[in-house]
Amino acid sequence: MKARPLDERTVTALVTAATAAPSLHNAQPWHFHWRSADHTLELSADLSRAMPHTDPDHRALHLGCGAALFNLRVAAAHQGLHTDTLLLPDPADPRLLAAVRIGGTGPPDRDTAALFPAIDRRHTSRHPFADRAIPGDVEKALCDAADREGTQLVLPGAWHSEALLDHVRDAEGRDALEPDGFEDLQRWTGRGPDATDGIPDYALGPRPRLGRAPVRDFAGRRHVPGRPTADFETSPHLALLGTRHDSPADWLRAGQALERVLLLATLNGLATALSSHGLERPDLRELARDPVSGMGHVHMVLRLGYGPPGTASPRRPLTEVLDLD
């Protein structure tokens, strides 16, 4: 089957969906290049948006770009387009993360297409969640979603969840002793209402009333006028997303799996949040592993539950993230 031509409107719609993905501090570290001659969208890392203190090996950058790549796949399937994705297609150019040929032979993925309505609805929620159990069939579906992308989602027990929260508090304590670690956070938070990236004050959510919460307070000690306080759940529903190995290709797979899980959770009425704070240091990241799961490397801690869906964060204009041939 010969690929049908794609017009500029279709390509921009695909990239618009892609850029709705989450990324560390909402830095949006991606750039797309449409090659019309061979019907291929290339995804590259924008290293000007890298975080040398928080993410020196660019692992989190790859996760965000992988999430954007998955949204692209969802949007293409929604439009009835088949995609063939090649990760890290040029060993000589590590910034080129993926090449996606669009509209070739083969049917679109209907299960993936069904996730499309969740792209605009998925927002990181920094609000308290209800103390309410998540149905077992929903948890299984989320684990199956991660498995479909070649990764693993583990739902830790109570003792392990408590240990993960301790890791976050440990990371916060170390941050206070190492001021250089705040540079990335200061760069990407506290943006004004007209910002197109980063985490603006209106998306922070409430400050924990008791100083203990399963979310990172991106305001730190900075006072935000009018920001409320709230009590957060004491026993959060956490999940670990990881892979057997720890290469850049694994990070891209994990990013795609992360977004598949988040979109499916959104369709099932769950609010979602992400936490990588306790994974930014190698020793804490090693401790985050579930010793009985066989997971080799943890890439993200997810917080799931029933609560407010969160506030949409700003997005960069397409003119900054897309080149058209």
The full DSSP string for 147-180 is: HHTT-EEE---HHHHHHHHHHHHHHHHHHHH-GG
Give the model's pLDDT for residue 165.
82
Give the model's pLDDT for residue 178.
67
Give the model's pLDDT for residue 291.
73
Whether the Cβ atoms of residue 297 and residue 243 lie closer than 8 Å to each other? yes
Q: Is the pTM of this model over 0.85?
A: yes
Residues of the chain with pLDDT under 50: 1-2
Give the model's pLDDT for residue 160.
87
Residue 281 CB coordination number (10 Å): 16
Whether the Cβ atoms of residue 77 and residue 112 lie closer than 8 Å to each other? yes
Residue 95: closest CA among 45, 20, 61, 33:
45
- How far is 258 from 142, CA to CA, in rounded Å? 10
Looking at residue 91, the DSSP 8-state letter turns out to be: T
Characterize the bridge pairing of strands 207-208 and 229-230. Answer: parallel
Give the model's pLDDT for residue 186.
86
Whether the Cβ atoms of residue 73 and residue 112 lie closer than 8 Å to each other? yes
Give the model's pLDDT for residue 45.
98
Q: Domains (ranges, CATH) in the chain? A: 8-117 (3.40.109.10), 136-305 (3.40.109.10)
* pLDDT tens profile 217-262: 888 778 888 999 999 998 899 999 999 999 999 999 999 999 999 9
Please give the full DSSP string across 16-34, using - where no structure is assigned. HHHTTS--GGG---EEEEE
Side-chain-side CA neighbours of residue 24 (13 Å): 28
Give the model's pLDDT for residue 118.
98
Q: What is the 3-state secondary structure (H, E, C) of 171-213?
A: HHHHHHHCHHHHHHHHHHEEECCCCCCCEEHHHCCCEECCCCC
Residue 50: closest CA among 40, 41, 60, 42:
60
* pLDDT tens profile 178-229: 666 678 888 999 877 889 999 999 999 998 887 567 778 888 778 888 999 9
Bridge partners (DSSP) of residue 119 are none
